Amino acid sequence: MKKKITILVPELPESVNTATIVKWHKNIGDYIYRDDILVDLETDKIMIEVPASETGKLISIMKNPGSVVRSHEILCYINKENKINEKLNFNNIRENLSPSLRRKNKLLNQKNISEIKEIKLLQKQEKKKNINNILKNSDNILQKKIKIKKIISMSPLRKRIAEKLIETQNNTAMLTTFNEVNMSSIIKIRKKFGEIFLKKNNVKLGFMSFFIKSAISALKKYPIINAVINKDKIIFYEDYNINIAVSTDRGLIAPVIFNADQMSISDIEKKIKYYANQGKNNKITIQELNGGTFTITNGGVFGSLFSTPIINLPQSAILGMHTIQDRVIVTQEKKIKIAPMMYISLSYDHRLIDGKDAIGFLNQIKNVLENFIQIILDI
C-alpha cells in the first residue's frame, strides 16, 4: 500500500499571518522527486518555495492559485513511491489553457508536443480576448479610448507596500529635513584602498557601509532617532539593527543588518552583497526582514538627486542617500571649487523627534563622512 504524504504551508511568523498561493509548478498526476518545488507562496514581504518532502506522485491539490492560506494548512497530497520514471506530461501544457480552448481545440487531443508553438499562440489570442471583454464591460469612457497592453493583478507584496505607505501617512506626523555632503574624502578612501580591500575580502568597498557607520555614530549621539512611540510610551532601542533597501523584481524590500555597530566595514559589505544576491533570487527570509530599528535607502543608485523617503513603520525615521553630482561649492577658506556632492535627507515622525535633533543627526552624518577618521578614533 502506498503511503500518503501531506504537504503543509510552512510556519509563518505572527507578523505575516497569511500567504497567497501564486503558482503551482506541478499538476495532479505528475511524478515528482524529493525537493522538487511544488508551489510558490507569496507573503506581504517575501516569496516562499514549498518543496516536495518525498518522491512520488501528486494525487491532489487542496488550494488553488489566489487562495489565502495560514500556517500548517494542507496544500496537497503525494503518494510516496521510491522508484518513478520521468514522464513528459502533455497534460501539463494542456492545463494552462482555459476549459473552452481545451474543448474546442482538436490539436490538444492529438497530444503532439511539436505543436506547443500553436498552443502558445492560442493562449495569446485568449488573453487579448479577455482584455477586450474587460473593456467592453467597462463604464469608463476614457478607458475605452486608450490602448491597453495588459492587465495584471497587484501582487501581495505590492499591495502591502501600498498599504504601508498609506498607513505611514495616516499615522505619523512625517517631516523631512535635508543636508548635503562633500563625498571627496570617501571617494579618495575607496580609490586608494578599493583594490586592496577587494583582494582581501572578496567584496567591493561601496558607499553604503560608510553611511551605516556614520548613521550609527549619529544614532548614538541622538538616541531619540533610534526610538519608537508605543501608545503613550517612548521605547529606546539598545540595538542598532539597520534596514537597507534592496530592489528586487517584485519590489523594494528592506532586510536587516543586525548589530551593525559591532561589525567591521568588511563584514557590513559582505552582508550587503549577501542580501543583494538573495534578493535577486527571492531567497531573503522573513527573519531577515524583521527586527530593524532604523532604515537607510539609496535612491542614488537609480540616479535620484533629491527625495523624501517614507518612514518604515514602526520605526521613527529613515535616511535617504542620493546620487553624487559635481557641483560648485564655497570652501571654509572662502574659495570656490568643484566637489562631488550628495544630498541626504531624513524623514522623521515629528510627534517624537524635534527638528533640532533631526538637523543635528544629519549634521553628525555629514561631519563623519567628510572626516571619516572620527570613526577610527571613536570621537
- In Å, how far from its chain's centre is CA 108? 40
DSSP 83: S
Residue environment code for 173-212, b if the CB has 16+ CB neighbours within 10 A, otherwise e:
ebebbebbbbbebbeeebeeeeeebeeebebebbbbbbbb
What residues contact 139, with CB distance under 8 A and at least 6 apart? none
Burial class (CB in 10 A: 0-12, 13-18, 19+), 311: buried
* Cell numbers given for 286: 522573513
From the candidates 232, 354, 357, 378, give the one annotated as an active-site residue: 354
What residue has cell string 532604515? 295
Is 350 an annotated catalytic residue?
yes
DSSP sequence for 146-212: S--S---PPPHHHHHHHHHHHHHHHH--EEEEEEEEE-HHHHHHHHHHHHHHHHHHSS---SHHHHH
Is 354 an annotated catalytic residue?
yes
Neighbours of 360 (CB within 10 A): 15
Give yes or no for a contact between 275 and 255, defined as CB atoms under 8 angstroms apart: yes
Which sign, positive or negative, has the C-alpha torsion 35, 39, 43, 46?
positive
Our CA dihedral for 104, 64, 251, 177, rounded to 10 degrees, sits at 130
d(CA 209, CA 321) in angstroms, rounded, equals 12
Per-residue CA distances from 162 to 23, 167, 202, 265, 303 (Å): 23, 9, 37, 34, 23
* Cell numbers given for 276: 543583494
From the candidates 25, 350, 357, 378, give the one annotated as an active-site residue: 350
The reply to whether omega before 314 is within 30° of 0 (cis) is yes
- In Å, how far from its chain's centre is CA 220? 28
Q: Which residues are catalytic?
A: 350, 354
